[in-house]
Amino acid sequence: MNNIGLGVMIDSLGGNEETVKAFRASVGKKITALELKDEHLRFTFEDDTHLSVWDNGQSCCESRYMRTDDDLSQYIGGELTDMETREAPSVPYEYGEHEVEFLVVKTTKGQFTMSSHNEHNGYYGGFSIQLRND
């Protein structure tokens, strides 16, 4: 990552109290639904609570999105146990940088990997994975 974008800087300065609180409130809960929709990974738990996960670092000239090659339905019925981000190699992109960061989600039924993508012109960059209970 060459430069950090304004959105990532603002999120870094604001701290991650809401993300930590949302994560702690969700660990150990049984997953009843799991989907990637509108660039958010969304968990539904047995107690009818929800957890949304997304990259909140958007600055102007960027395109951010999440993808996975894993079958999310395989993790329904498991309990959420942990999450961690991991560095990933950048991908060639016709207009500049295309950064990727992995989000590994661990459950009692195994783990799956999300890839968070940030396509930009080389001036912006970084990631700001956020969690929120809905």
Average pLDDT along the chain: 83
Residue 82, domain member (yes or no): yes
Note whether 56 and 128 are within 8 A (CB): yes
What one-character DSSP code corresponds to residue 60?
A: T
Tokens of 126: 């970084």
Tell me the one-letter amino acid at 61: C
Note whether 75 and 107 are within 8 A (CB): yes
Residue 73, domain member (yes or no): yes
Residue 53, domain member (yes or no): yes
Q: What is the pLDDT of residue 8?
A: 42
Residue 76, domain member (yes or no): yes
The answer to whether residue 11 scores a pLDDT higher than 70 is no
Strand partners, 93: 96
Q: What is the pLDDT of residues 64-118, one digit of tens each?
A: 789 999 999 999 999 999 999 898 887 777 766 688 889 999 999 999 999 988 8
Q: What is the total count of domains within the chain?
A: 1
Q: Which domain holds residue 123?
A: 6-133
Residue 1, domain member (yes or no): no
Residue 75, domain member (yes or no): yes
| CA 90-129-81 angle, 5° bins | 110
Per-residue confidence band for 58, with pLDDT thresholds at 50, 70 and 90? low
The answer to whether residue 25 scores a pLDDT higher than 50 is yes
Residue 84, domain member (yes or no): yes
